[in-house]
Structure 1
Amino acid sequence: MVIGLVIHASHRAAFEDAARTLAGVNLEWVVYGHEDEVAVRVDDLLARRRVDGLLLGPVPYAKCRHLLPADLPVAVLRSAGLDLALALFRASARGWRPTPVSIDTYDARTVDEVVRALELDPAQVSCLPYDREQSVAETVAFHREALARTGGEYVISLRTAVAAQLRDETRVLGGLPGPATLRAQLHELALRVQSKRASALRFAAGVFLVGRSGPQLDLDRARVGLLNLLLNTPEFGDAWIENRDRRGVVVLAHQALFEEATSSWVSLPALRQAQETLGIKVAAGFGVGASARSCVHLAERAATRAEQEESPSAYLIEDGGVIIGPMSAAGASVAFTYREHGAELERLAGEVGLSAATLSRLAAIERAQMGRAISPSDLAQQLGITDPSGRRLIRKLGDSGLVEVEGSTQVHRRGRPARLYRLRIGPAIGRS
């Protein structure tokens, strides 16, 4: 497992200390001296090394978010109330008055909680929550105005560029999250990456069937030729391959192996190779399920469906109901289906700019919600995608009128409330 850490040069020692309790993980350090360097350095990391996850603060994330792959697990560091309380105690230990103080980047709710817990005067605490559209100059101007208005003597800033500009004017405390916060968020990201890997390592099966081309076809000879072809296919090097019957071969492997062999369920070159080198038409089916037996059963159903195509092709059937296919032998365009959803959903998917499979899964989630609203994070979890991808999907659906804003909810005491949405895909299908 490889995790990238995007950090300011002054923070490396703290992150190294936090990472000492994490074994089995290779860390790729992206160290910058100024915020403007972040995008270039992250782009270089993604070009030279495949990373399984990325940990970075809110400022670096805003600088490079456009570069990050949609399926890359990302953790954005958030300082907790404990970190702010410790910063205030450090100020007190240095003989500084706890207030007036000017604070940036912390969420307003977190600041309010700490102020109440420490029985401080809220009027003496100025807070500027992080906004990726806000420049360093604007943040510095906020602190200057707050200090002039309240007579404050120091600033707590999580932005190194802001702290650098203010150090000659006033006292500044850095707001880097403490070791416990860093360690917890790094561990959480590692577990999320591991969970994603585990889903890719679900058990899967493939069934390859020799087409019935007439009485003169020697099925036994064709099957042996197909078996040898698959055994000599590099992509199936780690798979278990054995005879199924006179017409078929079974391949058992992890889901990730089949995803690689089919370019994420788009094409299967082995079908073309069988036709060109052996002169036989082969249909393939893949099944992904909870057990070997269920995988083979689903793969048999998928192979039967692939046999109905005029040209060599393959299908995938998952135990959750997703059907993908037909996969071509040469990597040509592929249609995606979710059960039998009909022409109306296909047309709407084209208008929205999503695959029919994705829109069908969204329609299924809408039915399961039974009119209840859902947050982007919960939607992302049900679809098996990242939270940022879930938010982008919500925006895309919003542009097409397929979601309605339905208030918000505060899941945790810390952090911003999560906006809720009501899916409106069913009515749109009825109108199309």
Structure 2
Amino acid sequence: MPAMKIGCIGPSDSINLVTEVAARCCPDITLLTYVRERAEDSWQVLEQCQRETSGTLFTGIAVQEGAKARGTITNPYEHIQRGGYSLLRVLSEMNRKGIKSGRLSIDVVSDDILVEVVREFGVELEDIHSMPYALHLSEQEYLNRHIELYESGKVEAIATGFGYVYSELKKQGLPVFRLYASTLQIRDSLSRLTGRIKNLSLRSAGIAIQLVKLKSITRSSINQYDDMKNGGRFYLELLEYVRAIQGSLFNFGTEEYVIFATRGLIDSKPHREHFERLLSWGRERNIIFSSGIGIGATAFEAEKSARKALDNAVKLDKGGLFIVEGTQIRGPIGEEDELEYSTHVVDDKLLEMSKKIGISPSYLDKIRSLMDKTRKDTFDTSDFAACLGIGERSARRVLKKFLDSGFAEINGREVANQVGRPKKMVRLLI
């Protein structure tokens, strides 16, 4: 079996360390390296890395987020964390160099790790200035803050997980120490990444069945010939999609089609986007259709899931696509109100809550998914209805159930532009 190709993105010193560990501990891996000294530049090599390898290992969280900020990650990926060992090694090095004081500025490492090191190893830190990694801060801002703390006399040493920050502070002759990952952390990260790649390979081999159901060919035809002509156009467009996913197409009458394919192709981003374009093409011509994709280990399981997905899609006025795999449902795919939730809830707290509110566990999980996606817990009736794709009367009835059961509260009233009746704002307590 050929060695698995893994790409490693990060600054040269970290990449050298990963290369050494991989060569010594992971003989079944071929490591391809892509050096970028600044974390914010990691996106520049992301596309090439993903084209040449099966997965990407980022040398740190900042390198990973730098790639995400301006690139799109499509392959499995993992980043190497900095834990207690990284900090202990820095403290040991400081001690060897005669820096006894615990006055230290440190970045990247989380406050939880700092507390763990103090508790577990009895380390005494006189005055520590912690700057955990934050998405909104650039490497330059971390660099400036370290310099400011040192020049003001608040710290006597600096510990950083950023390769760029380390090299810049070194140039200025400041007492800076590099937070390197341990051999164990690198091995664990490589192990998690190879596991994800293998799981993806197994999942990609699963069976996928897609059902496509025409809702209406046209709303303006004056004769049967126009209906047949538009139906023929739709069939040709659908055929192009089926060819792209290397599937097989069967039609039952003129209203329903069944597509057989492998999960890896039908559920990939490019092919989902292809089908989204097909939906848009149909809407522009008043050719409305709905679709459900079911994924399973057997054809029976995949078809059963596809029916469940299609049942959700046909409820949409303008058609749409849902995907069901096991107990998870996603959709409408590509739309602003796309959600992922469970069709079979086993969480005891959620089951008990749904019983008290008087709605199904699956619907409660859908609402919870909506709150996670929108990062909101307060809605008015129209907003709640739009987000869930239901009528305002139904939304009002659902919110009342939350209020009556004590799982929601009135959180003020809002008047848009001081016109009309005030909108009651309901805060969900789940």
Q: Quick check: TM above 0.5?
A: yes
Aligned pair 1:234/2:243, yes or no? yes
Deviation at 1:302, TM superposition (A): 6.8
Among candidates 83, 86, 89, match of residue 86 of structure 2? 83
Report the CA distance shift for 1:195/1:89 in structure 2 as closer, same or farther (over 3 A).
same
Q: Which amino acid aligns with 2:11?
A: H
Q: Deviations over 1:287-339 (max 9, x none)?
A: 3235321223444677799999999x8865625374757x9xxxxxx8x7xxx
Report the CA distance shift for 1:108/1:19 in structure 2 as closer, same or farther (over 3 A).
same
Deviation at 1:11, TM superposition (A): 2.5
Aligned pair 1:122/2:129, yes or no? no
Aligned to 1:180: 184
Alignment of 1:87-126 (within 5 A): 87-92=90-95, 94=96, 96=98, 98-100=100-102, 102-105=104-107, 106-123=109-126, 125-126=127-128
Task: Give distance in 1, aligned partners of 2:130 and 2:316.
Answer: 61
Q: Retained in 2: the 8 A contact 1:53–1:193?
A: no
Q: Retained in 1: the 8 A contact 2:166–2:177?
A: no
Instruction: Specify the SS of the correspondent of 2:273.
Output: coil
TM-score by length of 1: 0.56
Task: Give distance in 1, aligned partners of 2:425 and 2:174.
Answer: 62
Q: Retained in 2: the 8 A contact 1:140–1:162?
A: no
Report the CA distance shift for 1:310/1:22 in structure 2 as closer, same or farther (over 3 A).
same
Aligned pair 1:50/2:56, yes or no? no
Report the CA distance shift for 1:114/1:282 in structure 2 as closer, same or farther (over 3 A).
closer
Aligned to 2:375: 397
Aligned to 1:254: 262
| Number of aligned residues | 341
Report the CA distance shift for 1:177/1:252 in structure 2 as closer, same or farther (over 3 A).
same
Q: Which amino acid aligns with 1:43?
A: W
Aligned to 1:263: 273
Deviation at 1:181, TM superposition (A): 1.3
Q: Deviations over 1:121-150 (max 9, x none)?
A: 332x5342335434312112223445x66x
Q: Retained in 2: the 8 A contact 1:261–1:268?
A: no
Unaligned runs of 5+ in 1: 212-225, 273-280, 328-333, 337-353, 372-381, 384-389, 403-423
Aligned pair 1:17/2:20, yes or no? yes
Instruction: Specify the SS of the correspondent of 2:114.
Output: helix
Instruction: Specify the SS of the correspondent of 1:69.
Output: coil
Instruction: Specify the SS of the correspondent of 1:398.
Output: coil
Task: Give distance in 2, aligned partners of 1:108 and 1:309.
Answer: 47
Alignment of 1:311-326 (within 5 A): 318=324, 319-320=326-327, 322=329
Task: Give distance in 1, aligned partners of 2:20 and 2:299.
Answer: 43
Q: Retained in 2: the 8 A contact 1:55–1:186?
A: no
Q: Deviations over 1:363-418 (max 9, x none)?
A: x89955838xxxxxxxxxx99xxxxxx9x98474238669xxxxxxxxxxxxxxxx
Instruction: Specify the SS of the correspondent of 1:135.
Output: helix
Aligned pair 1:159/2:162, yes or no? yes
Deviates more, 1:246-255 or 1:82-91: 246-255
Report the CA distance shift for 1:87/1:252 in structure 2 as closer, same or farther (over 3 A).
same
Report the CA distance shift for 1:286/1:202 in structure 2 as closer, same or farther (over 3 A).
same
TM-score by length of 2: 0.56
Task: Give distance in 1, aligned partners of 2:49 and 2:292.
Answer: 33
Deviation at 1:47, TM superposition (A): 4.4
Q: Retained in 2: the 8 A contact 1:6–1:55?
A: yes
Deviation at 1:58, TM superposition (A): 3.8
Deviation at 1:14, TM superposition (A): 0.2
Task: Give distance in 1, aligned partners of 2:87 and 2:27.
Answer: 29
Q: Which has the higher contact order (CA 8 A, sep 6+)?
A: 1
Q: Deviations over 1:164-199 (max 9, x none)?
A: 425664544322112221221232233345445555
Q: Retained in 2: the 8 A contact 1:17–1:179?
A: no
Q: Retained in 1: the 8 A contact 2:110–2:133?
A: no
Instruction: Specify the SS of the correspondent of 1:129.
Output: strand
Instruction: Specify the SS of the correspondent of 2:276.
Output: coil
Q: Which amino acid aligns with 1:296?
A: E
Aligned to 1:376: none
Among candidates 285, 294, 306, match of residue 287 of structure 1? 294
Instruction: Specify the SS of the correspondent of 2:122.
Output: coil
Among candidates 136, 146, 149, match of residue 142 of structure 1? 149
Unaligned runs of 5+ in 2: 216-234, 283-287, 355-364, 381-405, 411-423
Q: Retained in 2: the 8 A contact 1:2–1:50?
A: no
RMSD of the TM alignment (CA)?
5.6
Aligned pair 1:66/2:49, yes or no? no
Report the CA distance shift for 1:68/1:56 in structure 2 as closer, same or farther (over 3 A).
farther
Report the CA distance shift for 1:369/1:266 in structure 2 as closer, same or farther (over 3 A).
farther
Aligned to 2:384: none
Aligned to 2:223: none
Equivalent pairs: percent with the same residue? 13
